[in-house]
Structure 1
Amino acid sequence: MSGLRQDDIALAGEYVLGTLPGTERQAAVRRIATDPDFAREVARWESRFDPLADEVTPVAPPGRVWGGVETRVFGRPERTGAGLWRWLAGASGLSVAFLAALLTLGEPILPARGPLLVSDMVSQDGAVRLAALYDSETGEMRVSMGGDAPAPGHDFELWVIAGNAAPISLGVMPRQGKAAMPIPEAIRPMLADATLAITEEPLGGAPEGVATGPLVAKAALRRI
């Protein structure tokens, strides 16, 4: 049982609902990365609200109207691209916590010419979280790692699983923070219907490119 106070539980709920003002939201993002009990409570709130997103059919607006929507609804796009992420939350049903994690990547995200794929991986106990965004136009995947670090002498490794094929390593993850990963051209076509997974492997990655460690988290890539 967590030692969170009722105020902390309510704070986690407000975070997931997206009602916290900017400074409090930033503090909550930092707390998710450092407080496992709070991260688990956020995950519990998300599990309560996520089924509601299943009842919403995503509708992608034509690219030609994006500029007008961004300006009229959110004002001029800021350097952080926060307006875009607010739009993505409404259009795709992605969790607020996941979008906040993506914002920590720290680069403006502009409307892409090709599909964007996203994945939100959270361990069962809520202690490890990884947000991933793949841009099919550039072939680059950006990831943001938060929560607990791997055990001493180990690394987290990211894998892509397409159908019944064997997992393919995408590389060792940063222990905390962000990274940009160019995806090999041979792997890119697999991503549209793939699942991402994190395992805990020996330092430097799995021997001979074959997963040996325990599964930490997994989630499907979703198109937005």
Structure 2
Amino acid sequence: MIEESGAPDPGDTATAGEYVLGTLPHAERQRFRARLAREPQLQAEVERWEAHFDPLSEAFEPVTPPAGVWSRIDRRLFSASASTVRAGVDRLWRWLGLGASLAAVMLAGVLWLGPAHEPEAPSLWVSDMVSADGAVRLAALYDEKSGEMRVSVGGAEPADGRDFELWLIQGDLAPISLGVMPHQGQAAMPIPDELRELVANATLAITDEPAGGTPTGVATGPVVAAAPLRRI
């Protein structure tokens, strides 16, 4: 809700941005629209997002990932014998080089989520993951101050009996599972204290796993998408 002081609640700031971008689930969008009719300050927050959206999205240019990123992700997540998934990772590399602009709209919104009134102390990290064919989309926003990661999942869902699992890859450490992702919509994921220092400059990856996640603690399915976390 909007605080009595007049400053927007951080949760409303994020939701207003997602409303403008059209990424809210239908039921949540309907509830938010009903609030707009009776909360002028919330309307002003939506108008602020609308004013910022167009110039921000135009500022993005496609970026080619550094050489070797995806091959390193492949090696870290899977054993050397898992060559069958390598082709999928290569397709992701080519897609990111040629079509990174397809994710620009989602990234533009995510870049503005969270408290916009503390620019002097940035504490947010963002990763936007899109599958090679563009069918699966996952955006992650991590707040260093709260230790919470918020994910938004869209596009195609995993097959019956399967789940998407999110992994944190940092340096030479073994990939760490952050949990199974919702099939659609949003989820808030508190990051354990012992992992928070590993988030900065890490890479996030999604794999296709059995329902409930990998039974072994090690990725077993193919890499669906991956992207580095960037400070904003």
- Within a 5 Å distance, the mapping from 1:67-216 to structure 2 comes to 78=45, 82=49, 86=53, 89=56, 93=60, 95-100=104-109, 109-111=115-117, 113-216=121-224
- Within a 5 Å distance, the mapping from 1:23-102 to structure 2 comes to 26=22, 78=45, 82=49, 86=53, 89=56, 93=60, 95-100=104-109
TM-score, scaled relative to structure 1: 0.58
Give the Å deviation of 1:86.
Answer: 3.7
Partner of 1:190: helix, strand, or coil? Answer: coil
Structure 1 residues 80 and 149: CA distance shift in structure 2, 3 A:
farther
1:141 is aligned with what amino acid?
M
Q: How many residues of Structure 1 are paired with residues of Structure 2 in the alignment? A: 153
Equivalent in the alignment of 2:230: 222
Once the two structures are superposed, what CA deviation does each residue of 1:18-64 show, in whole Å capped at 9, x if it has no partner? xxxxx9963x998xxxxxxxxxxxxxxxxxxxxxxxxxxxxxxxxxx
Structure 1 residues 193 and 88: CA distance shift in structure 2, 3 A:
farther
1:164 is aligned with what amino acid?
D
TM-score, scaled relative to structure 2: 0.56
Cα pair 1:80 1:109 within 8 Å, conserved:
no
Cα pair 1:102 1:144 within 8 Å, conserved:
no
Structure 1 residues 88 and 116: CA distance shift in structure 2, 3 A:
farther
Partner of 2:194: helix, strand, or coil? Answer: coil
2:153 is aligned with what amino acid?
M
Structure 1: gaps of 5 or more residues: 1-22, 31-75
Does 169-178 or 82-91 show the bigger shift? 82-91
1:201 is aligned with what amino acid?
E
Give the Å deviation of 1:210.
Answer: 1.3
Equivalent in the alignment of 1:19: none
1:136 is aligned with what amino acid?
E
Give the Å deviation of 1:211.
Answer: 0.9
Structure 1 residues 216 and 80: CA distance shift in structure 2, 3 A:
farther
Cα pair 1:161 1:196 within 8 Å, conserved:
yes
1:78 is aligned with what amino acid?
E
Give the Å deviation of 1:90.
Answer: 6.8
Give the Å deviation of 1:98.
Answer: 2.4
The alignment yields a C-alpha RMSD, in angstroms, of: 3.4
Give the Å deviation of 1:174.
Answer: 0.4
2:49 is aligned with what amino acid?
A
